[in-house]
A and B are shown apart, each in its own frame.
Chain A
């Protein structure tokens, strides 16, 4: 090596040039080798061919037209393509990422002078490249069926656009899981579990007022496009049903399912890309910056409210209405349907619980560890700054948790007020002071958990959550089952848990709530008592937090101890 050879200029890759991306090309080389690829493609082609010919044959035997048979095949092919991209592709994205880390070669990739975004995109399209090839192999069958089934582009274009965006969401979920979760098996299970939960558990949240969550899946757009994909007789019936609720309501706006799903998933894709980009920039970086995290929390509140509020007056938000729809004859019989007040209480409680959970999750992401804070103070000293910059990872997450807690309480109050003051409960009003209770609860729970995490670390926080969040739930439930006489005691024990507190808040503060006599006194009192205790705990932990931070700052200014 000659001296003048050293540090020759290197070209930098354009992040969006996917085909020229070295990481993408590296996976094309390894995952598209003939031997492995041929078997995968053969299986895809055989599976696709089988379904197309099978449904054509069935249609022929049933005297159905070629158009109808082809339409059924489109749906079968869509299922195959979804399995390939959603399940196998996501597992590959997560597993491949962990394999890179297990083998130790990920450090090489960290050091290469490609932009973090280029690295993210390289892995996003590179790791599941064989699955994309399998998808492409099934496309000729789809094209033939779409043409043969006379499916309009207005049907297949939205469907396949959302198939693509859903795939991006799930593959990014896999990459994030592979980046964050250390164990390969766990990363694989996590990513598959998330996809599975998105299609099974999460849509159930839509039945409890959190309609927004169902737009993470292909489901709504598939339902919207179904009339264009079904045999024409069935399509007419489905189309008639769909005309009852043809669009997504978002506050006062109407969107098609397609556009709204794309918008929702696009936001999630952007968030995941930001997370991965940060991790590629610095291996120890938080998944989100503070501004982004707070923005994401507020965005989630807006989306939840935007989807839920317009559904209150038509009654579509209430679970009993949906239940009635599922059982048509019963529904028609119950023409004078009205929601039960308990439903509204449960909806408000679930909203509050989800808000607290989301707050704990996001504040956990932006809260710095003790080591990180020491690094921040030292760096501030090096750069001649008086303190750690607010927005840096080492900066305290307390203020942003406070901000999010206020936003969460506002969202929860707006939702609850809309329920109480809806046409279903005439004359009912939710007084403004109730907002104070909601705020106290969210602040108490959110800030206590955050301050605990920032001062004592993740293990202390997890232990506290188990002892305060889970154990009282279990103990209270057992007490309530033992005897009706123990209901009040059970309520007091259950009220300790921040998981149960939002339900207690709704039950004790909503004027429409009709508590059973056995707990009518215990629930409001337990709620108020434990909320005050939570606030005091948050205050005490916050005081401890500032004391420790001052000690750390003093240590960073030159004293010998590091203020742990």
Chain B
């Protein structure tokens, strides 16, 4: 079990303790313990089948776990469903919308269901939320006629209507173009700055890394790592990177010198460049580069290439699958 580290000293908006979800003999979520402070944009990443949606369905009171406890803003989600539902804003995976309603009707229905006041007050709030997701022009469109990205934004607007303090967004960026993703990122940050806690999932780690203040990685129902993006990278053991030193002569000698250094592996010479793998901290890398220059080789250029988050996740998933 990996518990998420204390990300800040702020009070916990989401507190998940020893959560387990079984479907018959299949365990979808296994002993998940997680704490998300208020005002964070917290990401949950994992491949398909990692247990993200099951976790979200428990958090949103849509499903009872096999066991475990979940608190949202101090409210026990399993015991006080009604109160919990008032503070949750949930955007499910694929962001479904009814095919027989127009955008404003869909939003007005939810505004009315949440008891957001008179028709005029609801209209004002609907317009605010549509503006928030930059969809004012689609107010009178049919939901079924919207593009995938627009649909995502309409559902996000619906999620914001009742001003929830905890937003739970399942794959909100899937299907969005880069511009829309940027808008979504900005919108989430604004919400977090306003005091809301945003818990967002994706199977694309780089997408979350851009969007979130902290994140965690799940695979096969288990929490593998949690923290900032860099902390997650370290926890997953991915400090490995490929380094390329471009030298003015004596490449073979330099390669031999590097090969003898701690953490260096797979050294090879490609013309005037020496390419090698390095596993170590940033400090170790700085010392290595300093040593290379200090030893008298004429370093003309230096290049670093790290594994992408996707590579790390694929590797983790593969390792887990083999295990």
Q: How many residues of B contact A (CB 8 A)?
A: 50
Q: How far is the CB of B166 from chain A (nearest CB, A)?
A: 9
Q: Give chain A interface residues in 50-106, CB to chain B under 8 Å.
A: 100, 103-105
Q: Are B87 and A3 in contact, CB atoms less than 8 angstroms apart?
A: no
Q: Give chain B interface residues in 34-88, CB to chain A under 8 Å.
A: 60-67, 69, 78, 81-82, 85-88
Q: How far is the CB of A306 from chain B (nearest CB, A)?
A: 40
Q: How far is the CB of A280 from chain B (nearest CB, A)?
A: 11
With A10-B116, A112-B110, A382-B69 in contact, is A2–B194 under 8 Å at CB? Answer: yes
Residues of chain A within 8 A of B98, CB atoms compared: 30, 100, 103, 105
Q: Are A375 and B65 in contact, CB atoms less than 8 angstroms apart?
A: yes
Contact size class for A? 35 or more
Q: Are B66 and A107 in contact, CB atoms less than 8 angstroms apart?
A: no
Residues of chain A within 8 A of B82, CB atoms compared: 113
- Indicate if B257 sits at the interface (CB-CB under 8 A): no
Q: How far is the CA of A155 from the CA of B101 in the complex (A)?
A: 42
Q: How far is the CB of B63 from chain A (nearest CB, A)?
A: 7
- Indicate if B288 sits at the interface (CB-CB under 8 A): no
Residues of chain B within 8 A of A112, CB atoms compared: 85, 110, 113-114
Nearest residue (CB) in B for A114 is B113
Chain A window 295-314, contacts with chain B (Cβ cutoff 8 Å), 1 for yes, 0 for no: 00000000000000000000
Q: Are A111 and B60 in contact, CB atoms less than 8 angstroms apart?
A: yes
Q: Are A371 and B24 in contact, CB atoms less than 8 angstroms apart?
A: yes
Residues of chain A within 8 A of B219, CB atoms compared: none
Q: How far is the CB of B64 from chain A (nearest CB, A)?
A: 6
With A2-B194, A22-B113 in contact, is A564–B62 under 8 Å at CB? Answer: no
- Indicate if A374 sits at the interface (CB-CB under 8 A): yes
Q: Are B115 and A11 in contact, CB atoms less than 8 angstroms apart?
A: yes
Q: How far is the CA of A105 from the CA of B101 in the complex (A)?
A: 12
Q: How far is the CB of B158 from chain A (nearest CB, A)?
A: 7
Q: Are A10 and B63 in contact, CB atoms less than 8 angstroms apart?
A: no
Chain A window 104-138, contacts with chain B (Cβ cutoff 8 Å), 1 for yes, 0 for no: 11011111111000000000000000000000000
- Indicate if A378 sits at the interface (CB-CB under 8 A): yes
Q: How far is the CA of A110 from the CA of B165 in the complex (A)?
A: 18
- Indicate if B249 sits at the interface (CB-CB under 8 A): no
Q: How far is the CB of B29 from chain A (nearest CB, A)?
A: 13
- Indicate if B25 sits at the interface (CB-CB under 8 A): yes
- Indicate if B8 sits at the interface (CB-CB under 8 A): no
- Indicate if A26 sits at the interface (CB-CB under 8 A): yes
- Indicate if A423 sits at the interface (CB-CB under 8 A): no
- Indicate if B117 sits at the interface (CB-CB under 8 A): yes
Q: How far is the CA of A13 from the CA of B113 in the complex (A)?
A: 8
Q: Are B162 and A10 in contact, CB atoms less than 8 angstroms apart?
A: yes
Residues of chain A within 8 A of B117, CB atoms compared: 11
- Indicate if B217 sits at the interface (CB-CB under 8 A): no
- Indicate if B172 sits at the interface (CB-CB under 8 A): no
Q: How far is the CA of A10 from the CA of B165 in the complex (A)?
A: 14
- Indicate if B100 sits at the interface (CB-CB under 8 A): yes
Q: Are B116 and A284 in contact, CB atoms less than 8 angstroms apart?
A: no
Q: Are A282 and B92 in contact, CB atoms less than 8 angstroms apart?
A: no
- Indicate if B163 sits at the interface (CB-CB under 8 A): yes
- Indicate if A483 sits at the interface (CB-CB under 8 A): no
- Indicate if B112 sits at the interface (CB-CB under 8 A): yes
Q: Are A378 and B62 in contact, CB atoms less than 8 angstroms apart?
A: no
Q: Are B112 and A3 in contact, CB atoms less than 8 angstroms apart?
A: no
Q: How far is the CA of A12 from the CA of B162 in the complex (A)?
A: 13
Q: Are A375 and B105 in contact, CB atoms less than 8 angstroms apart?
A: no
With A29-B101, A30-B100, A105-B98 in contact, is A7–B66 under 8 Å at CB? Answer: no
Total A-B pairs, Cβ < 8 A: 120
Nearest residue (CB) in A for B60 is A111
- Indicate if A5 sits at the interface (CB-CB under 8 A): yes
- Indicate if B99 sits at the interface (CB-CB under 8 A): yes
- Indicate if B5 sits at the interface (CB-CB under 8 A): no
Q: How far is the CB of A496 from chain B (nearest CB, A)?
A: 30
Q: How far is the CA of A13 from the CA of B94 in the complex (A)?
A: 29
Q: How far is the CA of A10 from the CA of B98 in the complex (A)?
A: 24
Q: How far is the CA of A83 from the CA of B94 in the complex (A)?
A: 38
- Indicate if A6 sits at the interface (CB-CB under 8 A): yes
Q: How far is the CA of A371 from the CA of B61 in the complex (A)?
A: 17
Q: Are B96 and A8 in contact, CB atoms less than 8 angstroms apart?
A: no
Q: How far is the CB of A30 from chain B (nearest CB, A)?
A: 4
Q: Give chain B interface residues in 161-177, CB to chain A under 8 Å.
A: 162-165
Residues of chain B within 8 A of A107, CB atoms compared: 60, 62, 90, 92
Residues of chain A within 8 A of B99, CB atoms compared: 103
Q: How far is the CB of A518 from chain B (nearest CB, A)?
A: 49
- Indicate if B204 sits at the interface (CB-CB under 8 A): no
Residues of chain A within 8 A of B78, CB atoms compared: 379
Q: How far is the CA of A109 from the CA of B90 in the complex (A)?
A: 11
Q: Give chain B interface residues in 242-292, CB to chain A under 8 Å.
A: none
Nearest residue (CB) in B for A8 is B163
Q: How far is the CA of A23 from the CA of B113 in the complex (A)?
A: 8
Q: Are A1 and B190 in contact, CB atoms less than 8 angstroms apart?
A: yes
Q: Are A7 and B163 in contact, CB atoms less than 8 angstroms apart?
A: yes
Q: How far is the CB of B114 from chain A (nearest CB, A)?
A: 5
Residues of chain B within 8 A of A475, CB atoms compared: none
Could you say which of A1, A111, A375 contacts B66, with CB atoms under 8 Å apart?
Answer: A375
Q: How far is the CA of A6 from the CA of B197 in the complex (A)?
A: 11
Q: Are A113 and B86 in contact, CB atoms less than 8 angstroms apart?
A: yes
Chain B window 104-146, contacts with chain A (Cβ cutoff 8 Å), 1 for yes, 0 for no: 0100011011111100000000000000100000000000000
Q: Are B64 and A108 in contact, CB atoms less than 8 angstroms apart?
A: no
Q: Are B115 and A12 in contact, CB atoms less than 8 angstroms apart?
A: yes
Q: How far is the CA of A378 from the CA of B19 in the complex (A)?
A: 11
- Indicate if B191 sits at the interface (CB-CB under 8 A): yes
- Indicate if B196 sits at the interface (CB-CB under 8 A): yes
- Indicate if A283 sits at the interface (CB-CB under 8 A): yes
Residues of chain A within 8 A of B25, CB atoms compared: 564
- Indicate if B195 sits at the interface (CB-CB under 8 A): yes
Q: How far is the CB of B230 from chain A (nearest CB, A)?
A: 29
With A22-B112, A26-B109, A105-B96 in contact, is A6–B101 under 8 Å at CB? Answer: no
Q: Are B22 and A371 in contact, CB atoms less than 8 angstroms apart?
A: yes
Beyond the given A1-B132, A13-B113, A22-B112, please list 7 additional residue pairs across the A-B interface where CB-CB is below 8 A: A3-B194, A3-B195, A5-B194, A8-B162, A103-B97, A113-B82, A374-B66
Interchain residue pairs with CB less than 8 A apart (14): A10-B86, A22-B113, A25-B112, A26-B109, A31-B100, A100-B98, A104-B92, A111-B60, A112-B110, A281-B81, A371-B23, A374-B67, A375-B66, A375-B67
Interchain residue pairs A-B with the least CB separation, the first 4: A104-B96, A3-B195, A378-B67, A11-B115
